Amino acid sequence: MLSLINLLLPALMPSWRFFKAVDPSPRVEWALLADAHSTASDWQEFRPRPQHLSLLQMARRMLWNPRWNEALFLVSCAERLTLAPSEHSRQEILHRIEAALPSPAAGEQKRYLQFRLVFIDREEDGSLVKAVTYQSDPHPISRGPAA
């Protein structure tokens, strides 16, 4: 019985000592472009974290939070894309952004999607520093025009 408890204890009360360092996580930002040669200027964060959660929302998220699981997968893809770029990670991020895009407004001519990975770090003086570590090529959006 004691050996069973010794096996379960680390799962119930994890130790955070296995992290060598806590580094900032990459954030995914996206922009829509009119054509493949345009320059993006209106970057938007993909699935930003909520500014405030109620106690009930926090309790519910502890039991059921599929969006957070997908967000963790995106962070994993973004980290891999930063360290060792692969087509798989790029496609996974593009696919999820494109699936979440709002329907285009009537007459909207933006047909290309571009994303970038941004790290936000806090300096010793408290100021925030934003560093772009990866920027994708424009990708044609596969959805049809708005009805």
Q: Read off the pLDDT of residues 81-102 as tens digits, 9 standing for 90 and up.
A: 988 888 999 999 999 999 888 7
- DSSP for the chain reads -HHHHHHHHHHHS---TT-S---PPPEEEEEEESSTT------EESSPPPS---HHHHHHHHH--HHHHHHHHHHHHHHHHHHS--HHHHHHHHHHHHHHPPPPPTT----EEEEEEEEEEE-TTS-EEEEEEEEPPPEE--S----
Residues 61-86: tens digit of each pLDDT = 888 888 888 888 998 999 999 888 88
Q: With cut-offs at 50, 70 and 90, classify the pLDDT of residue 136.
A: very high
Domain residue ranges in the chain: 22-140
Say what the pLDDT of residue 62 is. Answer: 80
The larger pLDDT score, comparing residue 100 to residue 12, is at 100
Q: What is the dihedral of CA 67, 48, 128, 120, to 10 degrees?
A: 50
- 5-27: average pLDDT: 70
- 4-8: average pLDDT: 76
Tell me the whole-structure pTM to 2 decimals: 0.73
12-21, 36-45, 59-68: which is most confident:
36-45
Please choose, from the candidates 141, 33, 20, 131, the residue with its C-alpha nearest in 3D space to the C-alpha of residue 82.
131
Please choose, from the candidates 122, 121, 123, 104, the residue with its C-alpha nearest in 3D space to the C-alpha of residue 112.
104
Calculate what percentage of the chain has a pLDDT beyond 90.
Answer: 27
Say what the pLDDT of residue 44 is. Answer: 92
Rounded distance between C-alpha atoms, residue 143 and residue 104, angstroms: 9
